[in-house]
Amino acid sequence: MSQAVSKIKALTDHTYGTWNRQSAWTTPLLITDAEGVYFYDDKGKRYIDFSSQLMCSNLGHKNKNIIEAITKQAEKLPYVAPAFATEAAIDAVEALRSVVPEKLSKYFFSTSGTEANEAALKMVRQSKAPAYKVISRYHSYHGATSAGAAFTGDPRRWYAEQARCVVDGVCFAPDNYCYRCPFDMTYPDCKVQCARYLDYMIKEEGNVAAMIVEPVVGTNGRIVPPPEYYPILRRICDENDVLLIADEVMSGWFRTGKAFAIEHWNVTPDILTTAKGATAAYTPAGITVSSEAVSNYFEQELFCHGHTYAYHALAASAIPAAVAEYKKLFASGLPQRTSQYLEQKLFELGDKHICVGDVRGIGHFWALEIVKNRKTKEPFDTKADKLSGKALMTAQIAGNAMKQGVYMAAWYDTLVIAPPLIITEEQIDEALDILDKSLQIGDKEAVETDVAASHSSEYK
């Protein structure tokens, strides 16, 4: 047994692998280095990071300016209790205010997107009492804590419910999933019923305090809504005195071409949560920011929430540097060019491979939905399959690409195409040439039809 294998075994014998059967947590790849859009294993093999790890390394790896900011803070003041003010927190708020919608003005800092959503729940339920229900959607992920799992529509919630580890009072609404419309309609004939139904749902449910949405759905499909969706949703929430929470943990930080995805529809939520790209994943930081209407409630009421690591100076230190890097990057025009190039190339790839049912996305945030039959949209795998331990088709395709040097996250029905914003056209070609080969695995088991892949980005 080599020294590297021995070290990995020592790790897997004594740690829990996340979201996995522990019998499968035996031979994770040992990663020893990363730079730009690439990372390297212990044998020196190079991989293109085509999903920005967990859709968080938006600025790639080894950004010198962010590393320098963290290093300086570590040398000066790594940590002090959150009751104290730090220059790191002051600078982070100033940087955030330059990109966050102006009407969102009061911040709370934690260390993850899950924690950011947990804080939002407390704000909502305290300020809107006696109303307490929160509406989410089935194609969603909002975190791993009791609150985050309760908000979550994807199958990981099922396990949390079995363990009685979710909070109550969460309802699920129809998704704005045009490829598989829950109302079995075709846009634009459907009149965006998925949004309009919310008015009926809120009135019939009663006691609804808020609705939480990923403006562009993340793990569960990179679903981009029709243009009317969020304006309708905002109006319905206002008319029913319901708060709108935008979970921008994954869709935020210029991933879709704007600082926050909700801005594509000129809508401002009452609470915005974010993490991941806020520091480009160089430090763990979660952010919950609310409107004045929400924050005013707590002027005379106790905000009964906090963490030991709230406002952690080292975590906050990466935020101003990351914001500056995003601004510089977009001033160069590179992401604007490569997002258009990526869209074009993905559409071409979708047309070529019969296992690709839908190509959808925006900016650097795309999904290839893998199907057995384009005409019927029959999937290879379902939510239940994801939990069963079955070998999923998306995992087979992603696994084959990984062997050839391209890392992609995969869900039960989609491949996650979300490269760092610094990627070039040449690097996109390098990754897609490999993916082109890997998709043949799905083609071999798909049914040949005369139906082309759906291209859903016209909803932008």
Contact between 339 and 58 (Cβ < 8 Å): no
**Average pLDDT of span 311-334:** 98
The pLDDT assigned to 74 comes to 98
* Residue that is written with structure tokens 């002027």 in the block: 299
Query: What one-letter code names the amino acid at 222?
Result: R
Confidence of residue 265 (pLDDT cuts 50, 70, 90): very high
What is the share, in percent, of the chain residues with pLDDT greater than 90?
81
The pLDDT assigned to 6 comes to 83
81-114 pLDDT, tens digit each: 999 999 999 999 999 999 999 999 999 999 999 9
DSSP letter for 178, please. Answer: G
Residue 458 clears pLDDT 60, i.e. is over it: no
165-202 pLDDT, tens digit each: 788 999 999 999 999 999 888 877 788 999 999 999 99
Contact between 298 and 68 (Cβ < 8 Å): no
| Token couple for 232 | 């309708």
Whole-angstrom CA distances from 284 to 247, 314, 369 are 17, 9, 30
Query: What one-letter code names the amino acid at 78?
Result: P
Residue 350 clears pLDDT 80, i.e. is over it: yes
Residue 460 clears pLDDT 60, i.e. is over it: no
DSSP letter for 447, please. Answer: B
The pLDDT assigned to 1 comes to 61
The pLDDT assigned to 130 comes to 96
The pLDDT assigned to 146 comes to 87
d(CA 109, CA 128): 22
Contacts of 305 (CB under 8 A, 6+ apart): 108, 119, 122
400-423 pLDDT, tens digit each: 999 999 999 999 999 999 999 999
Contact between 176 and 140 (Cβ < 8 Å): no
Task: Write down the pTM of the prediction.
Answer: 0.94
**Average pLDDT of span 214-225:** 95
Q: Which of 106-110, 141-145, 265-269, 450-454 has the lowest mean pLDDT?
A: 450-454
Greatest CA separation found in the chain? 66
Contact between 327 and 432 (Cβ < 8 Å): no
Residue 440 clears pLDDT 80, i.e. is over it: yes
Q: Is 300 helix (H, G, I), strand (E, B) or coil?
A: coil
Confidence of residue 362 (pLDDT cuts 50, 70, 90): very high
Residue 439 clears pLDDT 80, i.e. is over it: yes
Contact between 39 and 33 (Cβ < 8 Å): yes
Nearest 10 degrees: CA dihedral of 430, 434, 436, 438? -160
Confidence of residue 222 (pLDDT cuts 50, 70, 90): very high
CATH superfamily of 3-62+333-459: Aspartate Aminotransferase, domain 1 (3.90.1150.10)
Contact between 157 and 166 (Cβ < 8 Å): yes
DSSP letters, 39-62, are EEETT--EEEETTHHHHT-TT-B-
Q: Chain-wide mean pLDDT for the chain?
A: 94
Greater confidence (401 vs 16) lies with 401
Q: Where are the domains of the chain?
A: 3-62+333-459, 64-329
d(CA 13, CA 189): 55
Length reported for the chain: 460
Give exposure, 122-150, as e/b (b: 16+ Cβ within 10 Å): ebbbbbbeebbbbbbbbbbbbbbbbbbbb
Residue 459 clears pLDDT 80, i.e. is over it: no
Assigned CATH class of 64-329: alpha beta
